[in-house]
C-alpha cells in the first residue's frame, strides 16, 4: 500500500466544498524520506534473501526463501507504484492551490481506476503470500516427507502464480465495470467504495477484499500456532532424553531444529506485523459493508477518518516486512542471545547457528 498518506494530515475540507484542499502546501520531506527508506529496506531484504537462496539451493529452505523473495518483491513494487500515484495526486493539489484554484476537482476516472486496482492488488498479494509461507512451514515441520514431495520449486511457483492471479482478478474486476473505484477521504487515494449507498457489486468486492485478507491472516496465525507447538514439543522431547541416537546424530537434528526455529521466528514476526498493520483496515471495511447491508447509508464523517487511519497503519507493512529478514537472521539472533545470556552457552559448536562449520544442514 501507499507510504505517502501521512501527507493527508495537511488536508481538510473547505466549507461548502465537495473536495478537500490543503491549507498550506504540504511538506514532502517526510514522504520522500519514507519512500526512500522503504525502497532501501526492501532492496536490502531482497539481497539477504537472495544470498540465502543461493546458499540453501536444493535444500528444504528453498520453498520458504522463494516465497519470501516474492513477498519482498511485491512489497517493493507496491511501495513504488502506489507511492508514485499518491505523490502525483498531492503534487496536483499543490499546483492547483498555487494558481488559486478553488473548484471541486477529483482524479480522472481512468487514473482513479488504475490507482484503486494497484491498491487492491498490492494490498492483497502480500497477505496471501504470507499465508502460503505459513502453510509451507507447517507442512515442513509436521509432515517432512510429504513436504519434500509437494513443496518443490515448480509447485511453489505455481502456487505463487495462483495467488497473484487471485489478487489480480479481484483488483481488475472494476476495470471491466464490475464495481467501481472512487476517490476516498481526503481525496488523496482511490479504493473500493465502502461508505454510503453502495451498489451490490461494490459491496461484494469490498467484502471479498476484507474477507480474503482476514482469512489469510487467520490461516497464518493458525499454521504458526501449530508449527510453534510442534517445535516446542520436539524441544521438550529432547530435554526429556527421549532421543537415544548418537551425539553426532543429535547435533545434526539440533542443527535442523535451529534452522526451523530461525524460519519460524521470521514467519511469526511477519504474521504479527501483518496482523497489527492490516487488521484495523480490513475489519473496518467489513463493518462498513455490513452497515450498508443493514440499511445505514449515511455514515458519520468520522468513519472516513478512521478508514484513512487504518490505511496509514496498513501502509507500514511494506516497510516493516524487509526488516524481519534484516534483523532476524541467524547470526544476529546468535549475537543477541550472547548479549542476553553471556554466562550461558546458548549455541554450542555442535548445535550452534554457525552453519559455516557444517557443509550440510538437515531439516528433518
Phi, psi of 105 (to 5 degrees): -140, 135
Nine-digit cell string for 296: 445505514
pLDDT digits (tens, 9 = 90+) for 112-142: 999 999 999 999 999 999 999 999 999 988 9
pLDDT digits (tens, 9 = 90+) for 190-237: 999 998 788 999 999 999 999 999 999 999 999 999 998 988 888 777
For residues 267 and 325, what is the distance between their CA atoms, to the nearest angstrom? Answer: 10
Q: Using 50, 70 and 90 to split pLDDT, how confident is the model at 1?
A: low
Bigger pLDDT: 51 or 348? 51
Q: Using 50, 70 and 90 to split pLDDT, how confident is the model at 300?
A: low
Residue % of the chain over a pLDDT of 70 = 72
Q: Among 18-22, 56-60, 176-180, 243-247, which stretch is predicted with the lowest mean pLDDT?
A: 18-22
Give pLDDT, residue 52.
80
Which of helix, strand or coil describes residue 361? coil
Instruction: Tell me how many degrees the CA angle 214-173-5 measures, rounded to the nearest 5.
Output: 60
Q: pTM value?
A: 0.81
For residues 83 and 75, what is the distance between their CA atoms, to the nearest angstrom? Answer: 11
- Whether the predicted pLDDT of 4 surpasses 80: no
Nine-digit cell string for 288: 462498513
| Residues 1/315, Cβ–Cβ less than 8 Å | yes
- Is the dihedral angle over the CA atoms 70, 72, 78, 81 positive or is it negative? negative
For residues 257 and 277, what is the distance between their CA atoms, to the nearest angstrom? Answer: 30
| Residues 350/69, Cβ–Cβ less than 8 Å | no
Q: Where are the beta strands (DSSP E) in 40-123?
A: none
For residues 311 and 78, what is the distance between their CA atoms, to the nearest angstrom? Answer: 14
Q: Where are the beta strands (DSSP E) in the chain?
A: 11-13, 20-22, 182-184, 189-191
For residues 283 and 321, what is the distance between their CA atoms, to the nearest angstrom? Answer: 21
pLDDT digits (tens, 9 = 90+) for 140-156: 889 888 888 888 889 99
Give pLDDT, residue 349.
39
| Cβ neighbour number for residue 240 with a 10 Å cutoff | 8
Of 4, 5, 2, residue with least CA distance to 309: 5
For residues 143 and 359, what is the distance between their CA atoms, to the nearest angstrom? Answer: 25
Mean per-residue pLDDT, 75-84: 90
Q: Which residues pair with 12 in a beta bridge?
A: 21
Residue owning grid cell 501527507: 7
**Taking all residues of the chain, what is their mean pLDDT, rounded to a whole number?**
78
As a whole number of Å, the CA-based R_g of the chain is 23
Amino acid at each position: 500500500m501507499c507510504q505517502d498518506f501521512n501527507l493527508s494530515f495537511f488536508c481538510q475540507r473547505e466549507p461548502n466544498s465537495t473536495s478537500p484542499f490543503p491549507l498550506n502546501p504540504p511538506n514532502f520531506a517526510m514522504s520522500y524520506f519514507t519512500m526512500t527508506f522503504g525502497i532501501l529496506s526492501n532492496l536490502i531484504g531482497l539481497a539477504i534473501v537472495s544470498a540465502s537462496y543461493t546458499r540453501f539451493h536444493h535444500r528444504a529452505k528453498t520453498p520458504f526463501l522463494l516465497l519470501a523473495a516474492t513477498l519482498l518483491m511485491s512489497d517493493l513494487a507496491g511501495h513504488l507504484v502506489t507511492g508514485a500515484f499518491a505523490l502525483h495526486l498531492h503534487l496536483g493539489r499543490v499546483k492547483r492551490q498555487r494558481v488559486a484554484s478553488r473548484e471541486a476537482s477529483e482524479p480522472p476516472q481512468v487514473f482513479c481506476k488504475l490507482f484503486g486496482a494497484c491498491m487492491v492488488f498490492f494490498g492483497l498479494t502480500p497477505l496471501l503470500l504470507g499465508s502460503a509461507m505459513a502453510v509451507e512451514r507447517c507442512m515442513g515441520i509436521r509432515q517432512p516427507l510429504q513436504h519434500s514431495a509437494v513443496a518443490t520449486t515448480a509447485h511453489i511457483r505455481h502456487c505463487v502464480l495462483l495467488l497473484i492471479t487471485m489478487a489480480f482478478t479481484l483488483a481488475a474486476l472494476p476495470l471491466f465495470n464490475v464495481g467501481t473505484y472512487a476517490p476516498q477521504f481526503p481525496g488523496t487515494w482511490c479504493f473500493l467504495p465502502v461508505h454510503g449507498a453502495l451498489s451490490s457489486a461494490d459491496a461484494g468486492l469490498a467484502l471479498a477484499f476484507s474477507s480474503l485478507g482476514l482469512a489469510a491472516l487467520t490461516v497464518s496465525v493458525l499454521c504458526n500456532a501449530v508449527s510453534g507447538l510442534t517445535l516446542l514439543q520436539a524441544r521438550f522431547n529432547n530435554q526429556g532424553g527421549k532421543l537415544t541416537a548418537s551425539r553426532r546424530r543429535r547435533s545434526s537434528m539440533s542443527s535442523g531444529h535451529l534452522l526451523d526455529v530461525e524460519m519460524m521466528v521470521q514467519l511469526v514476526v511477519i504474521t504479527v506485523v501483518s496482523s497489527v498493520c492490516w487488521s484495523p483496515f480490513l475489519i473496518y471495511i467489513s463493518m462498513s459493508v455490513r452497515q450498508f447491508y443493514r440499511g445505514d447509508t449515511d455514515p458519520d464523517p468520522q468513519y472516513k477518518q478512521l478508514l484513512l487511519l487504518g490505511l496509514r497503519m496498513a501502509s507500514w507493512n511494506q516497510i516493516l516486512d524487509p526488516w524481519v529478514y534484516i534483523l532476524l537472521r541467524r547470526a544476529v539472533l546468535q549475537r543477541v542471545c550472547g548479549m542476553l545470556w553471556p554466562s550461558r552457552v546458548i549455541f554450542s559448536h555442535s548445535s550452534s547457528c554457525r552453519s559455516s562449520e557444517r557443509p550440510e544442514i538437515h531439516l528433518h
